[in-house]
Amino acid sequence: MRDYALFVPEYIACGVALLVIAIELFAPKFRKDVLAYLTALGALAWFGAGLAFLDRDPKSYQGLFLSDDFTSFFRLLAAGIVFVVALMSAEFLKRQRGVDHGEFYGLLLVAGSAMTIMAGATELLTAYLALEVLSFSLYILVGILKRDLRSNEASLKYILLGAFSSALFLYGLSLVYGSAGTSSYAGIAEAYARRDSGLDPAVVVGLMLILAGVGFKVSAAPFHMWAPDAYEGAPLPITAFLSTLSKAAGFALILRLFSSAFVTDAETWRWAFLALAALTMTVGNLIAIQQKNLKRLVAYSSIGQVGYMLITIAALGYGDAQVGLNATSGLLVHLIGYIVTTLALFSALTAAVNRTGSEEIAGLRGLAETQPFLALVVTASLFSFAGLPFFAGFATKLFLLQGATTDETIWVVALAVLNSFISLYYYLMVIRQMYLFDPVGDASRYRVQPVLWGLAAVLLVGILFIGMYPGPAFELSERAARPLFDAASAAAAARVQAH
């Protein structure tokens, strides 16, 4: 049945997107920052509508899209991210000339909706289309500072490499479709389980191409080349958006795709994810040490974080549904912690950059004197990334790695722990600038815009809350992860009956 009601939250998001674009188009004199608050309100409404879908029985839209707790989880995440990024942009965009605010905010909402669809997609083309909607929104957002050459360059690189990876992904999809004869996840799983000859080379090539495509989207090494440039060139709030929403969306797609459609060929792809994880975390953390620019540092550090997350996908390919469930809930809870931390970091950085105009690490020099609160938020975020106690990263990284630990993955887990040690080094280098050095030039204290201050404060509380009492976040994650494996066990049961 065509159950259009499944998309009510996205109707709200896209409706607000059209509204803000229309306002700018037909009322050019309208105050621009009101658009940001309108977007934030829209995101709140979207979030509220999303809450109503939690805890409902899974419903499918024509076998293309499944509305279950997993989808709802990512819908809430998307709404939350858009809310924060819209508020963050309000002050930031005021200082930039030649930006179309309506488009900017509209695209945020569209990209968020695309993430929901990616999470809920149960059919290859739906997933692909959602991925492209997300990517196109991001291409434009990265290059939205039209008069900034770095932004232009970043956008161009991103588009070219993105198009290339899309092509790989699409080619992979077509090979899978060709070998399975269907594009629905359940159908593929069934077709592959029924197949009695050995492994088809086309399937292997298809899987690896798909892996390369999604690896690009979440910026896993060696497909990460675009990330530092895109991060550096994009406006600061969009860098935050890139490093949270696009990664979460990528993992949403990977999780559902690999836990359902390709589960029978787990042995083929799990080693690839394991290698990808080990390479990604090491490359990300080692290169991060050399960075001078804050955004590039965050880019490489987030590549490192992706490396940790990829271990769970490898663990998904091991053992039974229980291991998969553990790994997936660990990944989801880490995503929550990672997103809250990243957004807190960027709220503080946006406030600091609004003042100093410098995006270099050295630009933070003496921040503890001139703005102790921002210095505190940045420190808390970096400590959280490094996984120190009291902060979200400690608890969520523990759950992530604990969930992903199996006999075969334990060496990568050990590597991940070593890597988080390396990461502490470059985080300390940033903290050092803020606390151990005196500010350059004007050393007087300055005030932060109330919106950014409030945002940073709320997110800081979030970091501490998840760090000290991760129970609620963890339960939410586990609830979100369960449908994937309920379906998997149901499919396995169906396969057994079919034989």
List contacts with another protein (CB under 8 A).
322, 325-326, 329-330, 383, 388-390, 394, 398, 401-403, 405, 407, 410, 413-414, 417-418, 420-421, 424-425, 428, 431-432, 435-436, 469-471, 474-475, 478
Determine what percent of the chain falls in helix, strand and coil, rounding each to the nearest 5.
80, 0, 20
Q: What is the DSSP letter of 60?
A: E
| Closest distance to another protein from the beta carbon of 471 (Å) | 5
DSSP 424-484: HHHHHHHHHHHHHSPPSS--S--PPPHHHHHHHHHHHHHHHHHHH--HHHHHHHHHHHHHH
| Closest distance to another protein from the beta carbon of 51 (Å) | 22
| Amino acid at residue number 351 | A
| Closest distance to another protein from the beta carbon of 143 (Å) | 39
- The SS3 of residue 365 is coil
| Pairwise CA distance, residues 442 & 174, whole Å | 59
| Closest distance to another protein from the beta carbon of 7 (Å) | 31
Closer residue to another protein, CB minimum distance, 187 or 467: 467
CA 136 vs CA 76, 236, 366: distances in Å: 22, 18, 39
| Closest distance to another protein from the beta carbon of 457 (Å) | 13
Cis-peptide into 389, omega within 30 deg: no
Closer residue to another protein, CB minimum distance, 55 or 475: 475
Closer residue to another protein, CB minimum distance, 280 or 477: 477
Contact 349/381 with Cβ under 8 angstroms? no
| Closest distance to another protein from the beta carbon of 253 (Å) | 23
Contact 459/347 with Cβ under 8 angstroms? yes
Closer residue to another protein, CB minimum distance, 82 or 348: 348
Q: Please report where in the chains the tokens 């955004």 appear, as a residue.
A: 295
Closer residue to another protein, CB minimum distance, 181 or 389: 389
Alpha helices by DSSP H, 52-145: 69-94, 101-120, 124-142
CA 372 vs CA 48, 325, 352, 434: distances in Å: 34, 41, 11, 9
Closer residue to another protein, CB minimum distance, 280 or 420: 420
Q: Please report where in the chains the tokens 């523990």 appear, as a residue.
A: 398
Closer residue to another protein, CB minimum distance, 32 or 397: 397
| Closest distance to another protein from the beta carbon of 438 (Å) | 11
| Closest distance to another protein from the beta carbon of 467 (Å) | 10
Burial category of 245 from C-beta neighbours within 10 Å (exposed 0-12, middle 13-18, buried 19 and up): buried
| Closest distance to another protein from the beta carbon of 413 (Å) | 6
Instruction: Please list, in sequence order, all residues whose beta carbon lies within 8 angstroms of the beta carbon of residue 478, skipping any fewer than 6 positions away.
Output: 325, 329, 332
Closer residue to another protein, CB minimum distance, 329 or 350: 329
| Closest distance to another protein from the beta carbon of 333 (Å) | 10
Residue 147's φ and ψ, nearest 5 degrees, are: -90, 0
Closer residue to another protein, CB minimum distance, 108 or 255: 255
| Pairwise CA distance, residues 314 & 324, whole Å | 9
Closer residue to another protein, CB minimum distance, 326 or 347: 326
Instruction: Please list, in sequence order, all residues whose beta carbon lies within 8 angstroms of the beta carbon of residue 424, skipping any fewer than 6 positions away.
Output: 386, 388
What's CA 436's distance to the chain center, in Å? 33
